[in-house]
Amino acid sequence: MEQKLNAWQPYALGLLRIVLGLVMLNFGLAKIFHFHAGVFMPPTGSMPWFAGLIELILGAALLIGLQTRLVAFVLSGEMAFAYFIAHFPKSFFPTENGGALAVSLCFAFLYLVTAGGGAFALTRK
């Protein structure tokens, strides 16, 4: 059973990369173009707007698997900054400060740094 599951590992990794890329692309589209923005409508030129620009460009790169390790490294750092700038001052605990998504994404991207882009990636290594 384990060998059969191991054979699917590159595809699951590729799917994880694609979904994370779509999530980041969605945040970037919301912050930059106000596309299904909800609460994400920062003023142009603000720090959250620049974060959205990073999310837009690198989310698209992650989606297609372009330089996955480098892109994931930058996005992991961005999510760490997001946690410590926007959430940590409210409380240390993600359940109290609303930072659970930022922490989860930070470590998911950190995993992609070590694991690579998996199947379907444009640049596979």
The pLDDT value given to residue 40:
76
Burial annotation 100-123 (CB, 10 A radius, 16+ → b, else e): eebbebbebbbbbbebbbbbebee
DSSP state of 45: T
The pLDDT value given to residue 84:
96
The pLDDT value given to residue 123:
85
Q: What is the pTM of this model?
A: 0.92
- Output the tens digit of pLDDT for each of the chain's 125 residues: 899 999 999 999 999 999 999 999 999 999 999 888 777 788 899 999 999 999 999 999 999 999 999 999 999 999 999 999 999 999 999 999 999 999 999 999 999 999 999 999 998 75
The pLDDT value given to residue 125:
58
Whether residue 37 contacts residue 77, with contact meaning beta carbons closer than 8 Å, is answered with no
Q: What is the largest CA-CA distance in the chain?
A: 52
